[in-house]
Amino acid sequence: MYRVGIDSGGTFTDLVGIDADGALVVAKHASTPQAPKDAFLGVIDKSRIADEAIERIAHGTTVATNAIIQRQGARVAFVTTSGFEDVPFIQRINRRREYDLHWRKPQPLTRRRWSVGARERVNANGEITVPLDAEAIADVVAALRALPADEPPEAIAVCLLFAFLNPRHELMLGEQLAQAFPDLPISLSHQVAPIWREYERSSTVLADAFVKPLVAGYCESLSRALAARSAQVHCSILKSDGGTTLLANAARRPVDILLSGLAGGLVGGRYWARRAGIADGITLDMGGTSADVGLVIGGQQRFTTEFEIEWGLPVAVPIVEVRTLGAGGGSIAWVDKGGMLNVGPQSAGASPGPAAYAAGGTDATVTDANLVLGRLDPDYFLGGEMALDAALAWQAVARVAQRVGQTPEQTAAAIVDIADENMTNAIRLATIERGIDPRGFALVAFGGAGPLHAVAIARKLGIERVVVPPHPGLVSALGAAISELRVEKVRTVAMLSDLASDAALIAQFAEMEADARGELAAEGLRGHAFATWKLSLRYFQQNYEQDVTFTRAGGLAECLAQFHRRHAEFYGYSFPDQPVELVHLRLSVYEADRGDAEGPRLRALPADAPAGVRERAGRDMGGRAVTFAVHRRAALPPGHTLAGPAIIEEVDSTTFIPAGARLQVHESGNLIITEAA
């Protein structure tokens, strides 16, 4: 029986199947963005895995992501506490950039004319101060019915003030609106995101409602198509937090799958990090237009609730912590008015793509620079599926070189260096912002372009080990295949720590955990599930929290000690005498990890034909001529070592090992790159 992961990307839909022995089947199918279901079914057929042999499919999809990015979701009516109808439009009143008169606020996922007030009020203590009466409800219904006839609402989002403390009014409205509008999906803020700060909660519940009809439609079409196949296939969707959820649940709470397409890479990256014996890793999934940076700490993913659709439009649900930056092979090099060279964030994308694609692009991109430096083989890009035109790449880089007064080779090195630096800075912010020093971490690099840049980035960060997983281009699909059932829950309590008792906290955690286990059972959990409990703490009057693990044995006292210690470590001071506020209880319940040592081991991967060692002329970072040894990855057995400068090629990626670095092939199949002793 196979566990199957299917990842729908912009260009390809990838499949990885793993059988009970850990044997791997891979397949690729051109994506069908207009009808993603077709590529989904197509890639299953192409893999030749029989329906009867599928234990389950986990699917990473960009349906919700694309709907949001392209703003092609539902017409959402917004219902909120009367007097606050403009909150989604006022937003947080800050600007994206300090000095830009021409910047416009982002358009929220609703319109002002679809925003309706309900006469009701809950206060900061969770007490009802203005009851929501029948008349108020009737007025909301009437207002929704009175919306312009040419723009009937397609979904309703409800966000009432302090509903995260007392959801009674939201529940009443939800019930009555469902009766009045039986055809419209309804999203309630306290269910979608029970968090403090009304704008962030509104924005989140709007996102949920916005993608709901589309995601529900997609899930339904998949269900129908799968039901029509020869055998019943169990299919779930990868959630933004790296867990999975049944098709029906994704349709009900689509906000959970907003980053479904990114999560697979993080899960897969974590898997390979662990297989290489690495507990603390930074994953770098770099493709053509963007790079996604994630964190694995103590073998676990990091989660955050600070995601933005675009600047200023937050979606506050648990997601795998990932920072996406506009840096990829297609990032464009440009020279500013003062003659300084810059790279990105503009990208040539997949079309026209880098100059070397010979598809009409003339801008010099990072891929072009890599070609000029001899790091890419023009005849073995995507395993030779796409020929690159080295002359066009050189010309494009030469044009930039002329403007900065350097040789094309020096300029190519500079482009790569600046791109590396940009990614380095993003990784720094992603780590240091969380109080994490990246230097103790390994860099796990994959995607088509990650392994080319990984060592240089690691050096800039002071990272000592780089890991390049097998089949770097299929890590996302593999991540989906091995993803686990997982539920994340957050409960806001907002109380001073001296008013909290271990017994009460344990009772609350236990209640949350029971709920979560119930949900997992409904998702089809068979084996054991683990739970972790965390408290989000801050000094009273601070507004941002630090998460510390809560154990029954250590209780609150140990949490507090840990909190003071971490505060001192990172900020240089702590206030052990000051009151600490306990803001959230955070719970994760997750299936026994299939990537753990006791889980299935993956067998050796199917090999591409070995081609022996060749040599290629290239350039180092000073633009000087050097010779690279070029290896085919499949020809390198576990335990094999070699020294840079060298290039390792495989069908879906290229790894660059600069001078001074040393490669060892790990028994897991990972390439491990360190500094030569």
Helix or strand holding residue 122 (H, E): strand 121-122
Q: Rounded to 5 degrees, what are φ and ψ at 171?
A: -65, -40
- Which CB, 41 or 109, lies closer to another protein? 109
Q: Does 86 bind another protein (CB under 8 A)?
A: yes
Query: Which sign does the torsion angle of CA 257, 473, 446, 370 carry?
Result: negative
Q: Are 184 and 147 in contact (CB under 8 A)?
A: no
Between residue 482 and residue 511, which ones bind another protein under the rule CB under 8 A?
A: 494
Q: What residue type is assigned to position 119 of the chain? A: R
Q: Are 204 and 319 spatial neighbours (Cβ–Cβ below 8 Å)?
A: no
428 binds another protein (CB under 8 A): yes
**With contact defined as beta carbons under 8 Å apart, do 189 and 197 qualify?**
no
Interface stretch with another protein, choices 22-30, 290-298, 300-308, 410-418 (CB under 8 A): 410-418
Coil, helix or strand for 635?
Answer: helix
In angstroms, give the least distance from the CB of 415 to another protein: 9
CB 425, min distance to another protein, A: 5
- Per rule CB under 8 A, is residue 572 in the interface with another protein? yes
H or E segment at 614?
Answer: strand 614-619
* 418 lies in the site for another protein, by CB under 8 A: yes
Element (H, E) at 309: none
Contact 263, 479 (CB under 8 A): yes
Of residues 101, 134, 553, 597, which one binds another protein by CB under 8 A? Answer: 101
Based on the shown chain and the rule CB under 8 A, indicate whether residue 577 belongs to the binding site for another protein: no
Within 654-673, the residues that bind another protein by CB under 8 A are 660-661
- Least separation in angstroms between residue 638's CB and another protein is 22
The yes or no reply on residue 148 touching another protein (CB under 8 A) is yes
Buried b (16+ CB within 10 A) or exposed e, 355-372: bbbbeebebbbbbbbbbb
CA separation for the pair 351, 363 (Å, rounded)? 12
Q: Which of 34, 104, 182, 617 binds another protein (CB under 8 A)?
A: 104
Pick from 224, 439, 603, 614 the residue near another protein by CB under 8 A. Answer: 439
Instruction: Kindly state whether residue 197 participates in binding another protein, applying the rule CB under 8 A.
Output: yes
Tell the smallest beta-carbon distance from residue 251 to another protein (Å): 30
The residue within the footprint of another protein, chosen from 280, 421, 502, 519 (CB under 8 A), is 421
Residue from 48, 71, 112, 552 binding another protein (CB under 8 A):
112
Instruction: Identify which of residues 455 and 477 has a Cβ nearer to another protein in the complex.
Output: 455
Q: Answer yes or no whether residue 462 interacts with another protein by CB under 8 A.
A: yes
| Shortest CB 673 distance to another protein, Å | 8
Does the footprint of another protein cover residue 641 (CB under 8 A)? no
Burial zone of 183 (CB within 10 Å; 0-12 exposed, 13-18 middle, 19+ buried): exposed
Pick between residue 64 and residue 426 the one whose CB is nearest to another protein: 426
Binder among 171, 350, 621, 629 for another protein (CB under 8 A): 621
Per CB under 8 A, contacts with another protein among 513-552 are 539, 541-544
| Residue 125 burial by Cβ neighbours in a 10 Å radius (0-12, 13-18, 19+) | exposed
- Nearer to another protein (CB atom), residue 79 or residue 414: 414
Q: Which residues contact 482 (CB under 8 A, 6 or more apart)?
A: 3, 5, 18, 267, 268, 271, 594, 595, 599
Size of the site for another protein (CB under 8 A): 85
Q: Which residues within the stretch 59-78 sit at the binding site for another protein (CB under 8 A)?
A: none
- Binding window for another protein (CB under 8 A); candidates: 88-96, 186-194, 253-261, 483-491: 88-96
CB of 468 to another protein, least distance (A): 15
Question: Should residue 567 be labelled a site residue for another protein when binding is judged by CB under 8 A?
Answer: yes
Smallest distance from the beta carbon of 150 to another protein, in angstroms?
5
Give the footprint of another protein on residues 313-372 (CB under 8 A).
336-342
**CB 481 within 8 Å of CB 17:** yes
Picking from 88, 85, 162, 155, the residue whose alpha carbon sits closest to that of residue 118 is 85
Between residue 442 and residue 461, which ones bind another protein under the rule CB under 8 A? 455-456, 458-461
Q: How far apart are CA 72 and CA 63, in angstroms?
A: 10
Helix axes 408-432, 390-404, angle to 10 degrees: 80
